[in-house]
C-alpha cells in the first residue's frame, strides 16, 4: 500500500512538471523520475569495513520547442525547483539548433499494456543481518584452502526503487523494482605466485541469491585455480569464452548494430541487415518480459513498448537496436531500445561446461578479459586475457599475461558452439562460447 502511494505521488509530480513545460512554451516534453533506497555492507577479515544507507531521488526533463531540444535535471523535487528545472530546459531549447529528427516517439508505439513482470521483492535486511551475511561469506572463502592468504572483503547490497516516466502525448507510468547482490573477493599465494579472483550473485529476490557459503567458496576456488599461472607462446588456437565473459561478445554485437553507431557510420556491421553474420544455428533474441529477470521492462526509456523479437535468426541479422531518434536518422522505426536491450539471449546448445571443454579438445579457456581493445569501425578485437590451457578436453594449467586478437566479423562467423551453462546474472544471458580460432600473443 505504501509503495502504491509513493507511485501515485510521483505520478502527480511528473504530471505537474509536464503541464509546467507546456505553460512555459514547450511544444512537447518528456520526463523521468526515480526514487530509490538501499543498504550496502562490506566486511573484511571478519570486521565491518563500511555500512552505507542510500536514499536517492532524481528528475530529468527534456523539452522540445519545435525541433529544438533542451534538457535539465535536479535532485530537488520541490515545486519551485521543478519550475526552475523546466525553465532551464526551455531556455536551452530556445538557443539550440533545430534537428529534424528530434522529438517524442510516435504515439502508436507507446506502451498501453503493462504486464506484471514480478520485479519488486523487498528484502527486510537489517544492518546486523547484512553484517552477519558478509562475514559468513568471507569466512567461507578464507577457510576454503590454506593458500587463501588475504581478502578484499565481502559485500551485501540491497536496493529498492521506483522509476516513473511521462510525456505530453499522455503517457504516464511507473513501476517498482528491487536488486540484491552478494559478492566476495580474496587473494591466494603459493610460493612467489599471488592471484586474486571473486564471485558474486545477483537477483531481484533475496531468496534467489546463492548462499553466502557458496559465493565465498566459489571465489576461493577460482583464486586457487589461478595460482602459478604462466604465459603461452604466440600461436593460433581455438578459444572458449567462459559464460561469465561470453556476454561481452554479444555486447560488442549490440554496440555494432545500435542506431548511434550506425547513423554515424562507425560500425563494421553498417548495412548488414539481412546478411549472414553468424553460422546458421545461431539464434539471438530479446525477451523483455521474462519474470524476475534483471533486464525486464514493459517499455524502454522513452515509453515505447518492448516486445520479444529476433536480433539474429538462422545466423542472419534480422534487426537493429534503435531509439526513436536513431530510427529517424536511419529512416526506420524505433525498436523499443532507447536505453539498450532488455534480456538478450543466445540459444544454448547441448553441451555443459565440461562438454564444451571436450568439444574444444585443445585450446585456451578465457575466464577474464582486460582492456577495451575493440574497434567498432573495423571490428578489430584485441584484449588482455587470463584463463587456462586445455588439452584432451581437460584443464592443464592457468594462463596469464597474454593477449587474444581477431576480427569480430570473423569471430562471429567462426563460432562453433554455445554451452548450456548459461550465466543469468545480467541483462545478457549466454553460455560459454567456443570460437574456431583466434591469435594468441604471449612469450
- C-alpha to C-alpha distance for 184 and 151, rounded to whole angstroms: 8
**Mean pLDDT of the 179-187 span:** 98
pLDDT reading at 180 higher than 70:
yes
- What is the per-residue pLDDT across 38-54, written as a single tens digit (0 to 9) for each? 999 999 999 999 999 99
Cα 275 → chain centroid: 26
pLDDT reading at 337 higher than 60:
yes
pLDDT on residue 2 = 54
- What is the per-residue pLDDT across 132-152, written as a single tens digit (0 to 9) for each? 999 999 999 999 999 999 999
pLDDT on residue 317 = 98
**Mean pLDDT of the 344-355 span:** 97
- C-alpha to C-alpha distance for 418 and 401, rounded to whole angstroms: 26
pLDDT reading at 225 higher than 90:
yes
pLDDT reading at 245 higher than 80:
yes
pLDDT on residue 160 = 96
pLDDT reading at 413 higher than 60:
yes
- C-alpha to C-alpha distance for 41 and 57, rounded to whole angstroms: 21
pLDDT reading at 371 higher than 90:
no
- C-alpha to C-alpha distance for 282 and 309, rounded to whole angstroms: 14
φ, ψ for residue 132, nearest 5 deg: -60, -40
- What is the per-residue pLDDT across 2-28, written as a single tens digit (0 to 9) for each? 567 778 888 999 999 999 999 999 999
- C-alpha to C-alpha distance for 173 and 209, rounded to whole angstroms: 29
- C-alpha to C-alpha distance for 311 and 318, rounded to whole angstroms: 5
**Mean pLDDT of the 426-435 span:** 97
**Mean pLDDT of the 197-208 span:** 98
Q: Considering the chain, what is the average pLDDT of its residues? A: 96
pLDDT reading at 60 higher than 60:
yes
pLDDT on residue 266 = 97
pLDDT reading at 382 higher than 80:
yes
Pick from 211, 279, 198, 253: which is nearest to 381 by CA? 253
- What is the per-residue pLDDT across 152-163, written as a single tens digit (0 to 9) for each? 999 999 999 999
- What is the per-residue pLDDT across 75-120, written as a single tens digit (0 to 9) for each? 999 999 999 999 999 999 999 999 999 999 999 999 999 999 999 9
Other Cβ atoms within 10 Å of 204 Cβ, number: 21
Residue 412 CB-density burial (10 A; 0-12 exposed, 13-18 middle, 19+ buried): buried
**Mean pLDDT of the 246-252 span:** 96
- Show the 3-state SS of the chain: CHHHHHHHHHHHHHHHHHHHHHHCCCCEEEEEEEEEEEEEEEEECCEEEEEEEEEEEEEEEEEEECCEEEEEEECCCCHHHHHHHHHHHHHHHHHCCCCCCCCCCCHHHECCCCCCCCCCCCCCCCHHHHHHHHHHHHHHHHCCCCCEEEEEEEEEEEEEEEEEEEECCCCEEEEEEEEEEEEEEEEEEECCEEEEEEEEEEECCHHHCCCHHHHHHHHHHHHHHHCCCECCCCEEEEEEECHHHHHHHHHHHHHHCEHHHHHCCCCCCCCCCCCECCCCCCCEEECCCCCCCCCCCCECCCCEECCCEEEEECCEECCCECCHHHHHHHCCCCCCCCCCCCCEEECCCCCCHHHHHHHHCCEEEEEEEECCCECCCCCEEEEEEEEEEEECCEEEEEEEEEEEEEEHHHHHHCEEEECCCCECCCCEEECCEEEEEEEEECC
- What is the per-residue pLDDT across 252-311, written as a single tens digit (0 to 9) for each? 999 999 999 999 999 999 999 999 999 999 999 999 999 999 999 999 999 999 999 999
- What is the per-residue pLDDT across 99-110, written as a single tens digit (0 to 9) for each? 999 999 999 999
Which domains can be identified in the chain, with CATH numbers? 2-226 (3.30.2290.10), 235-248+348-441 (no CATH)
Q: What percent of the chain has pLDDT over 90?
A: 96
C-alpha cell at 405: 586478437
When computed from its CA atoms, the radius of gyration of the chain, rounded to whole angstroms, is 24
Amino acid at each position: 500500500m505504501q509503495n502504491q502511494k509513493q507511485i501515485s505521488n510521483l505520478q502527480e509530480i511528473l504530471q505537474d512538471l509536464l503541464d509546467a513545460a507546456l505553460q512555459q512554451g514547450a511544444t512537447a516534453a518528456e520526463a523521468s523520475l526515480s526514487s530509490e533506497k538501499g543498504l550496502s555492507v562490506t566486511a573484511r577479515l571478519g570486521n565491518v569495513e563500511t555500512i552505507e544507507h542510500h536514499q536517492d531521488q532524481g528528475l530529468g526533463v527534456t523539452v522540445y520547442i519545435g525541433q529544438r531540444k533542451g534538457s535539465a535535471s535536479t535532485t530537488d523535487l520541490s515545486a519551485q525547483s521543478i519550475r526552475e528545472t523546466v525553465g532551464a530546459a526551455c531556455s536551452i531549447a530556445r538557443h539550440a539548433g533545430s534537428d529534424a529528427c528530434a522529438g517524442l516517439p510516435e504515439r502508436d508505439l507507446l506502451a498501453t499494456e503493462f504486464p506484471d513482470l514480478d520485479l519488486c521483492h523487498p528484502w527486510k535486511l537489517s544492518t546486523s543481518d547484512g553484517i552477519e551475511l558478509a562475514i559468513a561469506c568471507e569466512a567461507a572463502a578464507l577457510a576454503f584452502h590454506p593458500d587463501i592468504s588475504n581478502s578484499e572483503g565481502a559485500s551485501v547490497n540491497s536496493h529498492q526503487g521506483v522509476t516513473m516516466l511521462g510525456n505530453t502525448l499522455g503517457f504516464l507510468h511507473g513501476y517498482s523494482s528491487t536488486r540484491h547482490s552478494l559478492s566476495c573477493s580474496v587473494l591466494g599465494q603459493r610460493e612467489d605466485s599471488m592471484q586474486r579472483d571473486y564471485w558474486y550473485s545477483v537477483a531481484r529476490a533475496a531468496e534467489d541469491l546463492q548462499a553466502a557459503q557458496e559465493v565465498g567458496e566459489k571465489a576461493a576456488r577460482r583464486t586457487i585455480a589461478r595460482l602459478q599461472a604462466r604465459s603461452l607462446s604466440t600461436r593460433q588456437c581455438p578459444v572458449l569464452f567462459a559464460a561469465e565473459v561470453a556476454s561481452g561478445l554479444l555486447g560488442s554485437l549490440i554496440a555494432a548494430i545500435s542506431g548511434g553507431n550506425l547513423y554515424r557510420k562507425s560500425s563494421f556491421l553498417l548495412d548488414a541487415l539481412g546478411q549472414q553474420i553468424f553460422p546458421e544455428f545461431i539464434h539471438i533474441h530479446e525477451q523483455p518480459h521474462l519474470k524476475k529477470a534483471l533486464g525486464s521492462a514493459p517499455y524502454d526509456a522513452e515509453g515505447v513498448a518492448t516486445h520479444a523479437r529476433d536480433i539474429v535468426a538462422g545466423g542472419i541479422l534480422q534487426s537493429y537496436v534503435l531509439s526513436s531518434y536513431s530510427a529517424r536518422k536511419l529512416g526506420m522505426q524505433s525498436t523499443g531500445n532507447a536505453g539498450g536491450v532488455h534480456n538478450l539471449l543466445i540459444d544454448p546448445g547441448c553441451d555443459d561446461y565440461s562438454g564444451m571443454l571436450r568439444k574444444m579438445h585443445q585450446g585456451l579457456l578465457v575466464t577474464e578479459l582486460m582492456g577495451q581493445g575493440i574497434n567498432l569501425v573495423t571490428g578489430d578485437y584485441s584484449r588482455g586475457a587470463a584463463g587456462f590451457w586445455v588439452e584432451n578436453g581437460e584443464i592443464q594449467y592457468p594462463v596469464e599475461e597474454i593477449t587474444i586478437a581477431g576480427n569480430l566479423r570473423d569471430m562471429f562467423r567462426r563460432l562453433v558452439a554455445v554451452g548450456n551453462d548459461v550465466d543469468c546474472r545480467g541483462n545478457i544471458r549466454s553460455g560459454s562460447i567456443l570460437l574456431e580460432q583466434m591469435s594468441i600473443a604471449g612469450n
